[in-house]
Amino acid sequence: MNAAGIIAVLVFATTIHAQQNTQTPEQQHAAMMKRGDQGMGFSQEKTTHHFLLLKNGGEINVTANDPKDDGSRDHIRMHLSHVAEMFSEGDFHVPMFIHDTTPPGVPVMKELHKEIHYRYQQTDTGGKIEIETANPRALHAVHDFLRFQIAEHKTGDPTEVPNDAVHR
């Protein structure tokens, strides 16, 4: 790329960054939801996310709001099974795209991906990913990642680990 091309890319990136900094929190959330529709392959309005912190990891749970919405349910299942595989390999490009940033915890989760176990399971109206690790540093990263998701998706889920919450 020549100097003019580099300058054009820098101007474009600076413009995007400036636009993001002038957006209200509601506009930022709406943009994240739109990227979520694209990155996940299902409507964020027709589904509900929950993120749970556990003593040995956590859980990502997504359900279709309407139990009869087989389309959303099937897309959730396809997405979460794919995400569990990607996370297991240390690939976090989907949440980075959706949130337009590197979520807290991701660098350590990438580094320690072989010490974190991701299990996908179907649920009646969607699916879930169980996240488990025995590594304290990885556990801290997983909890940082889940707290970020709770805030970004505005789920209202607890941001602290319940005393008895553990995968079995």
Q: Is residue 145 part of a domain?
A: yes
Residue 167 pLDDT exceeds 80: no
Phi, psi for 44 (deg, rounded to 5): -70, -25
Residue 118 pLDDT exceeds 60: yes
Q: Is residue 118 part of a domain?
A: yes
Domain count, the chain: 1
Q: What is the mean pLDDT of the chain?
A: 85
Q: Where are the beta strands (DSSP E) in the chain?
A: 47-54, 57-64, 116-123, 126-133
Distance CA 86, CA 83 (A): 5
Q: Is residue 162 part of a domain?
A: no
Domain coverage including residue 68: 24-153
Q: Is residue 13 part of a domain?
A: no
Quick: pLDDT tens for 4-19.
555 554 555 555 555 5
Q: Is residue 160 part of a domain?
A: no
Quick: pLDDT tens for 77-99.
999 999 999 999 999 888 777 76
Q: Is residue 18 part of a domain?
A: no
Q: Is residue 7 part of a domain?
A: no
Amino acid at 67: P
Distance CA 132, CA 121 (A): 14
Residue 68 pLDDT exceeds 90: yes
Q: Is residue 80 part of a domain?
A: yes
Residue 62 pLDDT exceeds 80: yes
